[in-house]
Amino acid sequence: MPAQPDQGPVIREAGPDEDLELFAAIRLAASPRDWPGPPRREPGRLMLLCDDVACALAGRSGLADSVTVQVYVEPASRGAGIGQALWERLVDHARTLGRPSLFSTVDAESPEGVAFAQHRGLVEVGREVEARRRIGDEPMPAPLPGIDVVTIAERPDLLEAVWLAIGADGYADIPSPSELAMTLQDWLDEEAAVPEGSFVAFEGDRIVGYAGMLEDEHGLTTVARSHRGRGLATYLKRRQLAWASSAGVAELVSYTQGINDPMQRVNEKLGYEIAPPWLKMKGPIPR
Ligand SMILES: CC(C)(COP(=O)(O)OP(=O)(O)OC[C@H]1O[C@@H](n2cnc3c(N)ncnc32)[C@H](O)[C@@H]1OP(=O)(O)O)[C@@H](O)C(=O)NCCC(=O)NCCS
């Protein structure tokens, strides 16, 4: 067979698990503060690899109107059109998902990444801020007068009641670029993955606060609208720190939205280290 002419970089769909490991390695080389593990397979999610230098994905976002698109090209291979080639494949795929917008999360510390997204019609619509806290010897906080606390481990039945009482309101009040597509079923599937570290606050028989724990990461913290500004979130997070200390958790991470998020002030007060933000960028799917 005659030798094939050099066709340039070859883009292919990620297949077996080794491909997902390769995807993770490329993503980390291109975007060092990103999630280090392999991406999950999800229905409708396209994952692409370009040799061993670039990768990209497109799939339904947690924002009901958007398709998430992410492109990663390792530094030595940039500026040669690989990012653009992957982008075109992602946009073609996004058109098949029946949603009007593209959404991408970009490291604010990466001027190339921000410019790439801006040049393709995406604008900043919000920020996500990561806060980390090493866990040492964390004291149990003094009780809050009039407030009783139970864990989801003690009362698993409460998770649904928390959603109905304050969880849905809590999500609605998170400063976000558009409506978060969170349902009761998602909540039951994802929240309080670590039930011993997930605390519910009662005033009498009324649920007034909740602080959830996922694997080594805070879940939703939310307080009834009527009970905000009284230190309840700070108290529940102190309970979580005390729990983490007794459970031997080395570090906790918390993600909050935007610069004026009250949750971020609570985290700062509790000694969390705040990292540079991730930009949430959004724009129309080109027709
Ligand atoms: C953003 C990123 C994916 C760009 O990858 P890339 O392969 O350098 O992208 P391209 O080469 O296709 O495009 C980069 C620029 O070079 C230009 N370019 C394209 N082909 C070129 C060529 N042959 N020679 C010179 N420049 C070229 C492009 O026009 C583009 O400029 P523009 O943004 O003004 O359109 C890469 O910097 C990266 O991985 N960053 C970290 C992850 C990230 O932030 N991703 C963005 C979120 S989706």
Ligand 1 lined by 105 (C-beta under 6 Å): no
Ligand 1 centroid–CA 46 distance in Å is 20
pLDDT at 178: 57
Of 121, 147, 179, which residue is a domain's last?
Answer: 121
The answer to whether residue 173 is domain-embedded is yes
Domain boundary among 91, 121, 151: 121
Distance 153 CA to ligand 1 centre (A): 48
Residues 105, 205: one domain? no
Residue 232 falls within a domain, yes or no?
A: yes
Same domain, 182 and 90: no
Question: Does one domain contain both 193 and 241?
Answer: yes
Say if residue 159 is in the same domain as residue 261: yes
Count of domains forming the chain: 2
Q: Is the pTM of this model over 0.85?
A: no
Q: Is the distance from the beta carbon of residue 116 to the nearest atom of ligand 1 less than 6 Å?
A: yes
Atom nearest to 82 CA in ligand 1: 7
Q: 141 and 53, same structural domain?
A: no
Q: Do residues 80 and 111 both lie within one domain? A: yes
Residue 22 shares a structural domain with residue 97: yes
Q: Do 248 and 169 belong to one domain?
A: yes
Number of other residues whose CB lies within 10 A of the CB of residue 208: 23
Q: What spacing in Å lies between the alpha carbon of 85 and ligand 1's midpoint?
A: 9
Ligand 1 contacts CB of residue 117 (under 6 A): yes
Residue 2 lies in a domain: no
Give the Å distance between the CA of 129 and the centre of ligand 1: 25
> Is the Cβ atom of 11 under 6 angstroms away from ligand 1?
no
Looking at the fold, whether 177 and 200 belong to one and the same domain comes out as yes
Q: Which domain holds residue 18?
A: 11-121
CATH of the domain at 243: 3.40.630.30
Same domain, yes or no, for 108 and 138? no
Atom of ligand 1 nearest to the CA of 79: 11
Would residue 280 count as lying in a domain? no
Evaluate whether residue 127 is within a structural domain: no
**pLDDT for 260:** 62
Looking at ligand 1, which atom is closest to the CA of residue 71? 48
**What separation in Å is there between the alpha carbon of 87 and the centre of ligand 1?**
10
The token pair at 133 is 């806290």
Ligand 1 proximity of 104 Cβ (cutoff 6 Å): yes
On whether both 143 and 266 belong to a single domain, the answer is yes
Ligand 1 pocket, residue 278 CB under 6 Å: no
Residue 259, domain member (yes or no):
yes
Three-state secondary structure readout of the chain: CCCCCCCCCCEEECCCHHHHHHHHHHHHHHCCCCCCCCCCCCCCCEEEEECCCEEEEEEECCECCEEEEEEEECHHHCCCCHHHHHHHHHHHHHHHHCCCEEEEEEECCCHHHHHHHHHCCCEEEEEEEEEEEECCCCCCCCCCCCCEEEECCCCCCHHHHHHHHHHHHHHHCCCCCCCECCCHHHHHHHCCCCHHHCEEEEECCEEEEEEEEECCEEEEEEECHHHCCCCHHHHHHHHHHHHHHHCCCCEEEEEEECCCCHHHHHHHHCCCEECCCEEEEEEECCC
Residues paired with residue 71 on neighbouring β-strands, in sequence order? 56
Per-residue pLDDT at 1: 42
Ligand 1 atom 45, closest CA: 113
Q: Is residue 4 part of a domain?
A: no
**Can you list the residues of the chain whose pLDDT is less than 70?**
1-7, 176-181, 259-260
Last residue of a domain, one of 121, 141, 169: 121
User: Residue 191 falls within a domain, yes or no?
Assistant: yes
Assess whether the C-beta atom of 230 lies below 6 angstroms from ligand 1.
Answer: no
pLDDT at position 270: 96
Pocket test for ligand 1, best of 49, 78, 114 (most atoms within 8 A of CB): 78
152 and 81 within one domain: no
Cβ–ligand 1 contact at 82 (below 6 Å): yes
The verdict on the CB of residue 211 being under 6 Å from ligand 1 is: no
